[in-house]
Amino acid sequence: MLIRKLFPLLQCPTCRSRDLFVEAAGLHCAGCHTVYPIHAGYIDLMPSGAAYDYVSKYVTDEAELAEELDYRELAPALLAAGVRDRTLRRLLAFQSTDVVLDNGCGSAKHAVWNADQVGLMVGSDPATLFADQALTQVALAQADSRSLPFADGSFDKAFAIDILEHFPREVIDTYLAESARILRPGGRMLAFSNTRELSPIQPLINISRRIGRLFVRAGVYDFSREARRKSDHIKALETWEDVLAAFERAGLRPVKVIFWNSLFTTFVEHIVMKLGEAALGRRSQPVTQAKSAEATPQPAGVAREIRARRRVRRQLRPGSPVYLALKAITLMMELDLWLFGWMRCGSYFILVEKPRV
């Protein structure tokens, strides 16, 4: 069982004891006598008795979001997720011996996509919306990033994709301090997030947005699914200075930064993909949805996009024409990083290191 590989890394998230042992009911802490249940594919390592002010939308609305996020079956790493993944891999330069934490993994798609590159891939998230593949390929922990269930210095590398923009400032500080704690000296972390800063080429980027709005007005497509997904972005780190200061407070030293001025990306996301989605998502047969009677009604755009994604996913075997077309579009989006990555803007990849002394 893959989660057994977690045992040597663990410490009790409630009392920080490392004296944990397996018993019938789960993992027992000899320090505080909390029992952490072991489920199929993951361990529940949520701290016992902790009451936090901030709880992620993904935890509170887990059931409601499950259908909409469409998380159980993973697509290949393509489009914006593909660009994030390629950059993650390039900057963290995974080694076959690395012990790596996807801290706030969600479905754990990035963990799955990179699990075969490293010695042990661990995913941690307070919500358990894990993809089916993650349950078998990633060592998963249900955990709170403010009190990680891992011993000091257990990881060579960690990453935080689309995490920091969801947290208030004090949670960011605890999250980064905990990330620094579980990294070994010389260990590295990659974060992808965004501030409120605009790109110097924003007027150019906005041309695609304006054309996209014309299609919305004409009823060709809408952005309701995207709007819901982004609805809990706080962006407490408002400027790039805020970002650098937050990492400095955690004692993490910047190694490399790439900004994502989304000129090609916005063109693809607001026009090319939405037109494709509108074409593919048209309802061609009656929907056979067993749970539709009890499911909450979704905006037409959400249902349309989910239909399009399911339809495309069936044709997404690597090497298929649809796959190759989307791969080409992914590389086109990545041009934004190669051409404009030096130009400060809101979206950023930052690679940081925990100093060796």
Residues lying near Zn ion in the complex (CB under 5 A) are found at 12, 14-15, 17, 29, 31-32
End-to-end CA distance of the chain: 36
**DSSP bridge partners of 103:** 124
| Between 32 and 80, CB nearer to Zn ion | 32
Number of residues written out for the chain: 357
From its phi and psi, is residue 106 left (phi > 0), alpha (psi between -120 and 50) or beta? left
What are the structure tokens assigned to 83, written together?
Answer: 């660009």
| Between 17 and 298, CB nearer to Zn ion | 17
**DSSP bridge partners of 29:** 20
| Between 26 and 31, CB nearer to Zn ion | 31
Min. distance of Cβ 56 from Zn ion in angstroms? 24
Min. distance of Cβ 45 from Zn ion in angstroms? 11
| Between 149 and 212, CB nearer to Zn ion | 149
Query: Can you state the angle between helices 321-340 and 79-92, rounded to 10 degrees?
Result: 60
Across 58-77, b (16+ Cβ under 10 Å) vs e yields bbeeeeebeebbbbeebbbb
| Contact (CB, 8 A) for 165 and 172 | no
Min. distance of Cβ 3 from Zn ion in angstroms? 18
